[in-house]
Structure 1
């Protein structure tokens, strides 16, 4: 089997603790397939050359495909694209220079200040912040633990509650570790629910119990900070490599679409459904409170999409039409502040066939009425490397949309406590 540079990196830098991998002179290409055969040509490249890291799949509805290339492979990629007359441009010329500008702040336990919304935080920083919230709002905030990781880290969260008898909203972030904007946005939403002066926000905080987990893949998130920025999976050893894609490991149409049986692949679904402690224990926690949950929100990046179940078919299922109509109205509210466009649809129609994800399982087996997955900013400029100066606008517009989700859900007959 031919091992390309990205597969080699995965194997080498997964197996031992080593110096943090650097992406000096790596480049991010935005490729534009604009002829009938271009999708097939790009698929062939993706399947035959593991040396290139495709950040999104070349699909018939893809306007652009982001491809990360190492310095020694740039000429190969550019010649290949030129051969088939496929247009491309470099959006990040030197990825390491971009990473050097990625501000990671330190949050100290015991501080009462909020997080800053122009920097990312480590897992320890996020957990310290949760501890401070628990201490600062003792009558409203309580600690919850949604499960355990392979490396025995707790999947920590908080519950915001202003009294008994309320229906619940569940927030899940950071299941893919390189998607740093996901935990950052979940943290902002948490902060707004606790400290905002906006009446609609305060009403949403009071009217529902909020179960919030900023990072549901703690091992992978730590690894993405300390060793390999592009890491996606968890950290369980699988033969000579590491990691299972936790959002392909849930027991709903497991391994049917959009996942791999190759442990070296970023979308490796694992040896079986719920084989991973993170997905298995978190699902048990969700099921234990499932009869309370009216709205389930999962946060990912990138693509500017609002997805609903399911990923195995484009056919409308369950309350598809209500969920889409509610979602589209919410995305209209999201676009007001900064003009950011989002597309709403089920997973299969909006992106591609993909199964084994959390929202499909929550919808089918827990039967939560409204279930959504946000694919946050951006679309084709930075991908997983969203600059810190976009944390605040991303979070603000997302909060706007959540308030509208609740408002529209009530209009459609949902979420009426």
Structure 2
């Protein structure tokens, strides 16, 4: 009876029910002026197309996904309005099929391979393995998801009294490079032989969450590789954009009240358990956070608050100076070029985003978003062979962020102050002894 039922289910839905994207094409539109941007904006709300990047006034490219049925209309629309375009991925499914996803288990070693992506269970198992191996590491929980999964993270601490660097990854499910790079950073902080990296690991407490949207991330591995939101049912639709759901200018410009849209902001600020519980965790340690880093893809940008205005608010001048120096350091290793600016001026207007809430409500001194590789050729489907170089150059830039921040009077952790005091007292003691001889 049960075998027959299983057979019928297999026949009806297939052995693998994961949504396929055969004959879906990724386009890169190249607008030359504001008129062409406006024509792309008119197309933005057409649900036949999936915009992977927004047609913001300053956009030099816009990535658009189309299925076979609508690609002729899209090409004719772009041509009619004299908008240049290229095809970057002629068949999305082929790119998905080429992705490598490995399974990590503590029985097959304690190291991740930086040439492959990992699923949610593997990332969580890896965190457990690190905690078992490194006495300075401990498991932390930043909250819970709609489907009651823990938002699992790792804390790296070499003693009490240190200020915090907070890292948030994977809030948009399909951006796999985000958790991968966050994991690489974690690994470097625990295992690197580089003295500057080891010093940064010792000087601060690091609170690191590779996947802050666990339901959505799991869904991209099992059902729909291109899913972005969480998995809350909303009428006949599913999902809320967790990076439009924070209690800061909620449902303003750049967010949607339509549950069918990828930037749907939810039924209210902090309506989602992921954002609500993670914000509570952040607030509980907020007085100690010196730097907050959020990781997304794609675009090769370093973004500052705020998303709802181009006004240069708070400590914009210091933050942009620090950020630009850090992006210079990022470019050295592989000549990867990043631009820097606040969200609204560098990419698009957005509201209800995590970094704005952290800056406004928690008053963290330095808050940044990384939009990691690339610039629209692969978008959310960045090949796994780019994980390692993306991680390496990003780690270079984080160390430079810390260095430049200190030059401008930020990042003065209690631990470093204590160490400096001890060193000064030791020097004075030596001088006193010499003078006494």
Q: TM-score range by the shorter chain?
A: over 0.9
Q: Any conservation in 2 of the 1:111–1:132 contact (CA below 8 Å)?
A: no
Aligned to 1:77: 74
Aligned length: 399
Trace 1:3-402 onto structure 2 (pairs within 5 A).
19-47=17-45, 49-137=46-134, 139-402=135-398
State the Cα distance separating 1:41 from its structure 2 match: 1.4
Q: Any conservation in 1 of the 2:110–2:129 contact (CA below 8 Å)?
A: no
Q: Structure 1 or 2: larger helix share?
A: 2
Q: Any conservation in 1 of the 2:110–2:126 contact (CA below 8 Å)?
A: no
> For 2:69, what is the secondary structure of its paired residue?
coil
> For 1:30, what is the secondary structure of its paired residue?
strand
State the Cα distance separating 1:380 from its structure 2 match: 1.9
- Find the aligned partners of 1:53 and 1:396 in 2 and give their Cα distance: 31
State the Cα distance separating 1:216 from its structure 2 match: 0.2
State the Cα distance separating 1:257 from its structure 2 match: 1.5
- Find the aligned partners of 1:52 and 1:359 in 2 and give their Cα distance: 28
- Find the aligned partners of 1:34 and 1:314 in 2 and give their Cα distance: 22
State the Cα distance separating 1:111 from its structure 2 match: 4.0
Gaps of 5+ in 2: 1-14, 414-437
Superposed CA deviations along residues 135-175 of structure 1, whole A, max 9, x for unmatched, are: 111x2111100000000000000100111111111000000
- Find the aligned partners of 2:223 and 2:34 in 1 and give their Cα distance: 40
State the Cα distance separating 1:235 from its structure 2 match: 0.5
Q: Which has the larger radius of gyration?
A: 2
Superposed CA deviations along residues 344-367 of structure 1, whole A, max 9, x for unmatched, are: 111111111111011111111111
Mean Cα deviation higher: 276-285 or 103-112: 103-112
State the Cα distance separating 1:35 from its structure 2 match: 4.3
- Find the aligned partners of 2:408 and 2:162 in 1 and give their Cα distance: 19
State the Cα distance separating 1:294 from its structure 2 match: 0.5
> For 1:42, what is the secondary structure of its paired residue?
helix
> For 2:173, what is the secondary structure of its paired residue?
coil
Change in 2 beyond 3 A, CA 1:328/1:81: same
State the Cα distance separating 1:112 from its structure 2 match: 3.4
- Find the aligned partners of 1:357 and 1:30 in 2 and give their Cα distance: 26
Superposed CA deviations along residues 312-348 of structure 1, whole A, max 9, x for unmatched, are: 1111111111000000000000000011111111111
The TM-score with structure 1 as length reference comes to 0.94
Q: Any conservation in 1 of the 2:110–2:130 contact (CA below 8 Å)?
A: no
State the Cα distance separating 1:37 from its structure 2 match: 2.2
Q: Any conservation in 1 of the 2:213–2:230 contact (CA below 8 Å)?
A: yes
Aligned to 1:9: none
Q: Any conservation in 2 of the 1:110–1:132 contact (CA below 8 Å)?
A: no
Superposed CA deviations along residues 30-57 of structure 1, whole A, max 9, x for unmatched, are: 111124421121112222x311111111
Change in 2 beyond 3 A, CA 1:35/1:354: closer
Mean Cα deviation higher: 111-120 or 236-245: 111-120
